[in-house]
Structure 1
Amino acid sequence: MLKDLLKDKEIILASGSPRRHQFFKDLDIAFKIDVRSVKEAYPKDLKKEGITDFLAKLKAEAFQDELKKNQILITSDTIVYHNEKALGKPKSKAEAKAMLASLSGQSHSVFTSVCFTTNNQQTTVNDETKVTFKELNQAEIDYYVENFKPLDKAGGYAIQEWIGLIGITKIEGSYFNVVGLPTQLVYKTLIKIA
């Protein structure tokens, strides 16, 4: 259905995330990947989806004035938000372990914003999902960090990996949003834009 609406459009996905690539394949949307380096800094007074909205738009700026009439650029950002603080991607295994320890036995929010940019308009949508972890012991945290790749994931974990399977007790909202893309919103927005 969406495929027909987008047949004259070229979708550019500005993301290196294999998970986001897979979502677009699963949604049956043809796309090309074009990732540009952007310094992901945001004003310190921003909170929650204000941070992800800002960063998703910032990533689109790298393509400014380059988009052709038939192109739709999609940029996005995901953060874990806990205790009034944004947790991005950990810079080390020690930081990943500290992040997981702080999330243990508590609930946090995952925010993802997706920015759709054409040569004449920009639309940004976002979603929030609440995630609750059981009390994780140190052995579980160490096992996950040493055997998986937490450094490319906001909050130091991926819900679809081992830590999610054994540690997450409750989720309120979109599961796919936690993986990195609110697929239902992407679908809805592309129908509007197309």
Structure 2
Amino acid sequence: MQNAIYLASASPRRKELLTQLGIEFSQFSVDADESQFENESPIAYVERLARLKAQSGVAMGYHDRPVLGSDTVVVIDNQALGKPTDKADFIATLKRLSGRTHQVLTAIAFASTERVISQVVTTDVTFKSLSNEELDAYWQSGEPQDKAGGYGIQGLGGRFVTHISGSYFAVVGLPLYECEKLLSEF
């Protein structure tokens, strides 16, 4: 196994992906204000959150090995889309994504008491045109409620994707290649 790290995330998807790299890690969650600043670009927003999560882990006392923070946002028309607040918000969000290409930005950051480094990975994802029946059935599945942009590519939402250009793993929540590369630079 490679050097041990901390994962500052409660995400089961990130835990599963990090396991694939063969990196020994301990996982914990951080409580961070994830509000987007006024006039903050989606790329600056997602990178700030990844850095904040990693640095929060260090501040919590996890500083004997690197702390990995990560965040993912779905972006369309240069607007970051959060998790749906209710069914109406979910429907409105997926109607915006329907038949179009959007971006998924995933930022990763490693922090210690001495420094923090980060990277943002951008992936283009194209959806087929979605019917009201498909949207209703997907909402009823329970999957979209806790997903940025209202869908999970690794689950039932994957059936809406017609094309992807970039890192599939970044869309799931942790870009494997970039994560391993950034850790080796750290």
TM over 0.5: yes
Alpha carbons of structure 1 residues 64 and 73: separation in structure 2 relative to 1, 3 Å: closer
Hey, what's the Cα distance between the residues in 1 that align with 2:94 and 2:176? 26
Aligned to 2:23, the other structure's residue is in SS state coil
- Alignment check: 8 A CA contact 1:42 1:55 kept: no
Instruction: Spell out, residue by residue over 1:122-163, the C-alpha distance to the aligned partner (whole angstroms, 9 max, x if none).
Output: 101110000010100000011111113212111000112222
Which of the residues 171, 181, 185 maps onto 1:188?
Answer: 181
Aligned to 1:96, the other structure's residue is in SS state helix
2:144 equivalent to 1:169: no
- Alignment check: 8 A CA contact 2:58 2:111 kept: no
2:171 matched residue in structure 1: 178
Residue 118 (structure 1) shift:
1.2
2:40 matched residue in structure 1: 46
- Alignment check: 8 A CA contact 1:114 1:126 kept: yes
Hey, what's the Cα distance between the residues in 2 that align with 1:55 and 1:106? 27
2:104 matched residue in structure 1: 110
Hey, what's the Cα distance between the residues in 1 that align with 2:56 and 2:184? 25
- Number of residues paired by the alignment? 185
Hey, what's the Cα distance between the residues in 2 that align with 1:154 and 1:174? 16
Calculate the aligned-residue CA RMSD, in Å. Answer: 1.4
> How high is the TM-score relative to the length of structure 2?
0.93
Hey, what's the Cα distance between the residues in 1 that align with 2:91 and 2:47? 27
Map 1:91-130 → 2, pairs under 5 A: 91-130=85-124
- Alignment check: 8 A CA contact 1:112 1:180 kept: yes
1:145 matched residue in structure 2: 139
Task: Name the stretch that deviates more: 125-134 or 50-59.
Answer: 50-59
Unaligned runs of 5+ in 2: none
Residue 61 (structure 1) shift:
3.8
2:150 equivalent to 1:156: yes
Instruction: Spell out, residue by residue over 1:72-99, the C-alpha distance to the aligned partner (whole angstroms, 9 max, x if none).
Output: 1011110000012100111222212221
Map 1:2-151 → 2, pairs under 5 A: 3-4=1-2, 6=3, 10-65=4-59, 66-68=61-63, 70-151=64-145
> How high is the TM-score relative to the length of structure 1?
0.90
